[in-house]
């Protein structure tokens, strides 16, 4: 148990450095969780199940995400690598096609997330400037 308390040395050829402080991790996690989904996506659950049901659903989903991120954090401490989390699938899954599939699914999730965030930002901006169509805001946000 005492061997896990000291972090293993980083790969010399990978060029990893351990210089993220707690405030960096806190701001990265806060920026990743508070997005347009909090402002746009909360309307439907609030109208259908109310505030208590919405809070329970957010707590349930948050606990699943917390467990996933804690597992990923343990993996990254035990096996430091400069690649993405698909590297762990390559290490532990019997076939490399799993790692390949995870990498592409992760890419697709970011592409669709970007489109959803641009649309949500367009809807929010449209509330302030109703004469301008939503797609114009989306194009403007995409170009900046």
* CA–CA distance, 76 with 71 (Å, rounded to integer): 9
Looking at per-residue pLDDT, the higher value among 45 and 37 belongs to 45
138, 119 in Cβ contact below 8 A?
Answer: yes
- The predicted pLDDT at position 25 comes to 82
**Does the pLDDT of residue 10 top 70, yes or no?**
no
What are the pLDDT digits (tens) for 90-124?
888 888 899 999 999 999 988 988 888 888 889 88
Per the prediction, the chain carries an average pLDDT of 83
**Does the pLDDT of residue 73 top 90, yes or no?**
no
Closest CA to 38 of 144, 116, 129, 128: 116
Q: What is the pTM of this model?
A: 0.62
Q: Where are the domains of the chain?
A: 1-80, 83-144
User: pLDDT band at residue 76, thresholds of 50, 70 and 90?
Assistant: confident
């Amino acid at each position: 148990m005492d061997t896990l308390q000291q972090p293993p040395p980083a790969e010399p050829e990978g060029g990893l450095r351990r210089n993220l402080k707690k405030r960096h991790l806190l701001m990265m996690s806060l920026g990743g969780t508070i997005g347009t989904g909090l402002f746009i996506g909360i309307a439907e659950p609030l109208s259908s199940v109310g505030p208590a049901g919405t809070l329970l659903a957010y707590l349930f989903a948050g606990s699943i995400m917390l467990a996933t991120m804690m597992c990923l954090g343990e993996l990254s401490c035990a096996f430091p690598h400069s690649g993405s989390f698909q590297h762990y699938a390559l290490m532990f899954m019997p076939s490399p096609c799993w790692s390949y599939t995870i990498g592409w699914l992760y890419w697709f999730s970011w592409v669709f997330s970007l489109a959803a965030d641009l649309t949500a930002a367009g809807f929010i901006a449209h509330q302030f400037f109703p004469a301008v169509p939503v797609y114009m805001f989306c194009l403007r946000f995409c170009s900046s």
